[in-house]
Structure 1
């Protein structure tokens, strides 16, 4: 007599708790071409290669890592801080730069404010993503997706802005490009996503051939 199939992660059969679903017996999983078909695929939803296929716990770890990185970036400004008061000149004893102030703020003020804005936006976005996942918000919600895209792209912006010999306008353009690319990755269906990326990568080559 055949024994019923028991799911490997199921609780041992006991009192048959129907409320929790711990009856311990599961029907055979349907297969497609010899491979098991997940419940999400049987419903016609996106597969594991899409954003929805990510586990909420994994995304929570990613959000925590981004929060830690953005916090460290915000407190470790490139160039460091003035170690002592710097006078205007040898003849003028008036303090020009005060000890403890960021050097980047005094010497490269526009770049400093972009750097600080990117670090704070990344920190806030990662915390929003963490909060959304903690309250069990759906992984495919716009709040989770946008907070991830903004937080992750902000890391790129803080990195490129911290480089000395780059143009600030070019750094912002790089950030916008990364932001758009990440949004395409996390929002589109895998088939449509690969089609869009192929069109973006091959459109310039097609014009060159003509």
Structure 2
């Protein structure tokens, strides 16, 4: 019994080193996959996987917890000069810096926990309930680091934190608008509305 002609053609193409032509549905699948990869490339924040963000949120939670339990400057080792062993030296010597540092670590811890809870309950990555806690928690790490430095001015520390928070939020939101803005620039008012998710 003779082989069908289509099989003979494929065998000859394989022997000659020329590839067999792909069926049309496979070409369509490849084109769709290529389009999806291009969309992911330009999608920005939305292309993040919730599992990756969950790992980041967990790391921020661990870091802020560690910062809250190991304060810069250390602790008094013994009961002397009106202090008890285990009291924070930073709290007694630089009270405002202590409270700024603690506020930063609490904000980072609370927002990373909120982000973790939102991700575990299936909230979409592009939601404000994910983006805002990420920006606040991540920038709080910067504020806690700056506040732990004894020679900086507290007002400058807060202004730098606000700047970092704005840059993070703009980066998250601007990348989100990049795909839609490539097609039609639109007005400045529309851009600002999309930038802040309203």
Instruction: Please report the RMSD computed on the Cα atoms of aligned residues, expressed in angstroms.
Output: 2.4
Hey, which of these two has a bigger chunk of strand by percent?
A: 1
Hey, which of these two has a bigger chunk of helix by percent?
A: 2
CA distance in 2, matches of 1:172, 1:105: 18
- Aligned-residue offset at 1:71: 0.5
**For structure 2, which runs of at least 5 residues remain unmatched after alignment?**
1-5, 8-24, 182-198
What SS is found at the alignment partner of 1:129? helix
Q: 2:57 is matched with which residue?
A: 63
- Mapping of 1:14-163 within 5 angstroms? 28-31=28-31, 36-38=34-36, 41=39, 47-87=41-81, 96-163=82-149
Preserved CA contact (<8 Å) 1:97 1:106: no
Preserved CA contact (<8 Å) 1:48 1:54: no
- Aligned-residue offset at 1:26: 7.4
The higher-RCO structure (CA 8 Å, 6+ apart) is 2
Question: Which structure has the larger Rg?
Answer: 2
Q: Give per-residue Cα distances to partners, 1:71-112, cap 9 Å, x unaligned.
A: 00001100111001222xxxxxxxx22211100001100000
Aligned residue pairs total 156
Taking structure 1 as the reference length, the TM-score comes to 0.68
**For structure 1, which runs of at least 5 residues remain unmatched after alignment?**
3-24, 88-95, 193-210
Preserved CA contact (<8 Å) 2:42 2:178: no
Residues 178 and 85 of structure 1, relative CA distance in 2, 3 Å threshold: same
